Structure 1
Amino acid sequence: SPAQVRKIEERFEAIESAIGRGENAVDQDFAFHCEIADATGNPQFRRFLEYLGRFIIPRQTVWGSATPDVSRNHLRTFQQEHAQILDAIRSGAVTQARAAMQRHLLNSRKRYQQIAAKLGVE
């Protein structure tokens, strides 16, 4: 619905603001994903996210270990992916939104596996 899209847009903008302040935007990122989960109309998505909690966003565990350039690059990259998800949602393109979210989740996993490997974390 238009109201749900507005809420998702607000969460997206909150991430932008947090990044602009030099924060890791974990809470804002989690809220963005929760808002999308709510918009699906399937309460199981939100329950699953809440069960996993903010630990589903791995950058909170590597933020202090990554160099500032790596951190900024990752923040820009994931926010570009969020923009693709949001654009698809805005246009009502369900298949594209789903694909954009899947890409984002897979790419996020790969990014954090790379960072963990560089830091010697298994």
Structure 2
Amino acid sequence: MKIERKKVSMQVVDHLKQMIKDKKLKPGDKLPSENQLTEMFGVSRTPVREALSVLEASGLIMSRQGGGSVVQTASIDHFLEETQFEFVDSQDILNLLETRIIVETGGARMAAERRTSEDLKIIKKKLEAVRKAYEHNEIGHQEDIAFHTAITEATHNPILLRTMKNMSDLYEKAVKFSLMKNMGILGKRTKVLNEHERLFNALELGDSAEAEKAMYEHLNNAKKKFEQEIGRLP
């Protein structure tokens, strides 16, 4: 029998999902605290936080103000899916990534040429949110999308912005899938953050060629990673 190796955080995810399916945790129930979960599973706090972030992104739990998380109201969709990402059509994701490479590389060049000082402040603020999500071991898909959207807005091309918004649903699923696969892998998460920072630096300098190159390499790396996940590359 082949032994499957899984990240610690994903093992915690599996255990908590099973507890929900077995009704040991019911809709509306408050989850044990992070400290209690670390003791329950014999792991450190980092994988527990990563697991809670994944479960929240998949819609199984919801964070409450004042701390703690509760199980969401039962939904057949939640229990049929391992996570919503696993049922996304892989060819659709690849098509989207190819489209993003075509659209956003040109968009990055244009943004470097057209961005205003106010645009740059907004992009920097979005980058700081990406960095904060990284530091807190969160998936950070919404922050990632906001960063890329701010760059598109800096092109001051309404048709380009509308094009990005028209594929927003699949766009969000693709970004979630990609970033979720990095959870618990510090090297990959650091690499993605560095790619965002390189892109911002090029925009700040108004270097259109470097901005285009940085965006291409960033998105092409995401495409390669996805192809590896679905077994199209060795």
For 1:49, the equivalent position in structure 2 comes to 164
Question: Tell me, what secondary structure is at the counterpart of 1:109?
Answer: helix
For 1:100, the equivalent position in structure 2 comes to 214
Distance 1:74 1:33 in 2: 19
Question: Tell me, what secondary structure is at the counterpart of 1:9?
Answer: helix
Name which of 159, 169, 177 aligns with 1:61. 177
Matched-pair contact (CA < 8 Å) for 2:124–2:200 = yes
- AA in 2 matched with 1:18: A
Question: Tell me, what secondary structure is at the counterpart of 1:117?
Answer: coil
Matched-pair contact (CA < 8 Å) for 2:140–2:179 = no
Alignment size in residue pairs? 116
TM superposition outliers: structure 1 runs of 4+ over 6 Å: none
Q: Which has the higher helix share?
A: 1
Q: CA deviation at 1:55?
A: 3.2
Matched-pair contact (CA < 8 Å) for 1:27–1:54 = no
Q: CA deviation at 1:54?
A: 5.3
For 2:202, the equivalent position in structure 1 comes to 88
**TM (normalized to structure 2)?**
0.45
For 2:145, the equivalent position in structure 1 comes to 30
For 2:187, the equivalent position in structure 1 comes to 73
For 1:40, the equivalent position in structure 2 comes to 155
Stretches of structure 2 lacking an aligned partner (at least 5 in a row) = 1-115
Matched-pair contact (CA < 8 Å) for 1:8–1:35 = yes
Distance 2:216 2:125 in 1: 22
- AA in 1 matched with 2:177: T
Q: CA deviation at 1:31?
A: 0.3
Once the two structures are superposed, what CA deviation does each residue of 1:17-47 show, in whole Å capped at 9, x if it has no partner? 1111211110000000000000011122221
- AA in 2 matched with 1:76: T
Matched-pair contact (CA < 8 Å) for 1:59–1:112 = no
- Kindly tell me: are residues 67 and 24 of structure 1, through their superposed partners in 2, closer, same or farther at Cα, counting changes over 3 Å? closer
Matched-pair contact (CA < 8 Å) for 1:26–1:54 = no
Q: CA deviation at 1:59?
A: 4.6
Matched-pair contact (CA < 8 Å) for 1:30–1:54 = no
- AA in 1 matched with 2:189: L
Name which of 226, 229, 233 aligns with 1:112. 226
**Greater C-alpha Rg:** 2
**TM (normalized to structure 1)?**
0.82
